[in-house]
Structure 1
Amino acid sequence: MAVVLLVAVLLSGCMTVAEKEAIEALPMYGQPELARSDYLKSEDAAFIKQTSFRYRGDVKQASRDWVKRADGLLHMGDTDAAMRHFNQAWLLDPENYQVYWGFGRVLVEKRQFSQAAHFLDRALAMVNDPYQKPALLTDRGTVYSLQGEQAREMASGQQTDLFAAANARFAEALALDETYLPVWQRWAQSLYRQGEYASAWEKIHQARQRGVTRFSRVFLRDLADRLPEPTH
């Protein structure tokens, strides 16, 4: 319904600040479903031209810098501002895989897991940095896991396949780089969601052996309530 209303606004040629902000809070400004008005296209072109001048034509570097700004905003919890910056990074370089990764992470914070999965898959298809791929795979595995938890709550019957996909992504990340420590923690949390408590403790022990010392106290407490930590 929200998209339909935004389409009507665009076709009418009138737009309030709030309506413009609503569009900016959508990945890729809601395109292609949401047609970009001529006025907004002219704004986009002016932004690209101005930024290109500042960066001496290196819009790819500009896009990477805008992603960093968006990351900082997302870290502070300002999802709408982060999305605006990711959208600007997308305007500057639609081939920047980090942009789609960013879209996915913002949508995860908004608990829009299906949409997040779509953009993370796009990022995985485009990633050209082998050092970043384990982290991206870990994020994708986490979203599969969250989708599995959601499917179980909705009794949709899809949770088994989703959790299996999560395990596969975590395993793929470790196959690329087992020193990427966050994957061990994320996999342990995913196994907890799956009800695989013994396996979750195993991942925690493996993480500790590799130097991971900080786990969420709440997570460890909840896991211990389900299954006390094995002593061997």
Structure 2
Amino acid sequence: MQYLILVLSFLFSLGAYAQQSSFKSWQKEAKKDIRMLPEYGNTEKTKSEIAADTRFVNSILENGKSNSEGAHEMIHIGFDYLYKGDLKTAMYRFNQAYLLNPKNSGIYWGYGSVYMALGAYDEARNEYTHGLKLDPESAPILTDYATTYLGEYYDNVRSNYKSAQRSLKMAKEKLLASYAIDSEYIHTTYKLSIAYLNSQDCANAKKYLKATRALGGQPITKEYLSDFNLQCGDCSDVKTGSFQIESRQNGVTKIVRSQGYQIEENEALGYKLKLKVDWLDECTYTLTPVANLANPAQKDIPKMVLTCQILEVNEGHYIQVSSSDDNDRPLTSQIEIVQ
């Protein structure tokens, strides 16, 4: 199974070593800048720092916002910086939210997310725990708490299998608790699918992937669908049959696929090709042109080999990504099932 850190979120875009190295650098720099620590490190501030805090709070109130509204705005801005990868400014904004309303659980969600991005899972869990004390019914915080265990799973799965499995078990427990709070929080259903796929539990991986699609499917990546299909995919219903692709540019391309060959015809473009089909696995196949049926006398047929991977099969259509050996730029298509 591929390394699915990117599946979870940008928070896992760094490798484990890079994250640990970044966290050490963060800790070193934070000794000189208390704004990089949650709640400013609970250290005694200087008179100038206290004065700066007072000016900031007053500026929010003078703009007609309440402490609660100002804190909410700072949290929102903090997450914007977090998603851009600017962790330091994100922490600054979460701390400003703390100045305005320390009882807002979103502040600790933000603190935890910064530590999560640094690979500091224990520190992240401490902050998430604080947030859950303020809001025990927060599915987003509980789901991100669970994600710390998914992070540990991926960090250890190649080097310490038993430890990785313990982390995976904890991730599922926390995700199921979050799902019990809010079954329509899409990041919970998606991560449950990921967790169960890593547990080789295809039934539940499919269940929660289906739930994620029903909620809109936004977090689902092609990489995850590829791994899902390799392990749990069932493309038997579309290995043979009649299909078609419609586009404004090319019109309708009709496809008839048998066990070993595929006929493609597009009347608007004036071509009809016979292609050899070779299945590489349950949901991946290659197409090699073997004959020009529109002009049998023409021997100059394309020599490319097209590799197609079916990402998902739905009622009435399937999604596939394809690339050729002479152009590896992937093309994603929705193919209608005719019969």
Contact 2:116 2:148 in 1 (8 A): yes
CA gap of 1:41–1:155, structure 2 versus 1, over 3 A, is farther
CA gap of 1:79–1:195, structure 2 versus 1, over 3 A, is same
Report 1:67-216 matches (<5 A): 67-127=75-135, 133-153=138-158, 155=160, 157-192=162-197, 194-196=198-200, 198=202, 199-208=204-213, 210-214=214-218, 215-216=220-221
CA distance in 2 between partners of 1:5 and 1:175 (Å): 40
CA gap of 1:55–1:156, structure 2 versus 1, over 3 A, is farther
Contact 1:52 1:59 in 2 (8 A): yes
CA distance in 1 between partners of 2:215 and 2:60 (Å): 42
Unpaired segments of 5 or more residues in structure 1? 8-18
Contact 1:120 1:140 in 2 (8 A): yes
Deviation at 1:99, TM superposition (A): 0.4
CA distance in 1 between partners of 2:28 and 2:86 (Å): 26
CA gap of 1:162–1:6, structure 2 versus 1, over 3 A, is closer
Contact 2:57 2:100 in 1 (8 A): yes
Greater share of residues in helix = 1
CA distance in 2 between partners of 1:222 and 1:81 (Å): 35
Number of aligned residue pairs: 210
- Paired amino acid for 2:134: M
CA distance in 1 between partners of 2:113 and 2:134 (Å): 16
Asked if 1:39 is matched to 2:48, the reply is yes
CA distance in 2 between partners of 1:142 and 1:5 (Å): 26
Asked if 1:221 is matched to 2:226, the reply is yes
Pick the structure with greater CA Rg: 2
CA distance in 1 between partners of 2:151 and 2:131 (Å): 19
Deviation at 1:207, TM superposition (A): 3.1
Deviation at 1:78, TM superposition (A): 2.2
CA distance in 1 between partners of 2:47 and 2:200 (Å): 53
CA distance in 2 between partners of 1:121 and 1:151 (Å): 23
Contact 2:30 2:36 in 1 (8 A): no
Unpaired segments of 5 or more residues in structure 2? 1-23, 237-339
Deviation at 1:51, TM superposition (A): 2.7
Deviation at 1:156, TM superposition (A): 8.4
**1:17-72 Cα shifts (integer Å, max 9, x gaps):** xx44xx3233223x13x55334323322332233333346x212211111122122
Greater share of residues in strand = 2
CA gap of 1:37–1:182, structure 2 versus 1, over 3 A, is same
Residue 53 of structure 1 corresponds to 62
- Paired amino acid for 1:115: E
CA gap of 1:154–1:54, structure 2 versus 1, over 3 A, is farther
Residue among 10, 35, 41 paired with 1:24 = 35
CA distance in 1 between partners of 2:49 and 2:159 (Å): 39
CA distance in 1 between partners of 2:206 and 2:122 (Å): 29
CA distance in 1 between partners of 2:47 and 2:161 (Å): 42
Give the structure-1-normalised TM-score.
Answer: 0.75
**Secondary structure at 2:103's aligned position in 1?**
coil
Identity of aligned residues (%): 19
Contact 1:114 1:147 in 2 (8 A): no
Deviation at 1:95, TM superposition (A): 1.1
- Paired amino acid for 1:81: T
Contact 2:184 2:215 in 1 (8 A): no
CA gap of 1:216–1:126, structure 2 versus 1, over 3 A, is same
Contact 2:30 2:37 in 1 (8 A): no
- Paired amino acid for 1:203: Y
Deviation at 1:138, TM superposition (A): 1.7
Deviation at 1:108, TM superposition (A): 1.7
**1:157-189 Cα shifts (integer Å, max 9, x gaps):** 543443222212221222222222221111112
- Paired amino acid for 2:48: Y
CA distance in 1 between partners of 2:216 and 2:30 (Å): 47
Contact 1:201 1:229 in 2 (8 A): no
Taking CA–CA contacts closer than 8 Å with sequence separation of 6 or more, which of the two structures ends up with the larger relative contact order?
1
CA gap of 1:85–1:166, structure 2 versus 1, over 3 A, is same
CA distance in 1 between partners of 2:222 and 2:80 (Å): 25
**Secondary structure at 2:194's aligned position in 1?**
helix
**Secondary structure at 1:36's aligned position in 2?**
coil
Give the structure-2-normalised TM-score.
Answer: 0.54
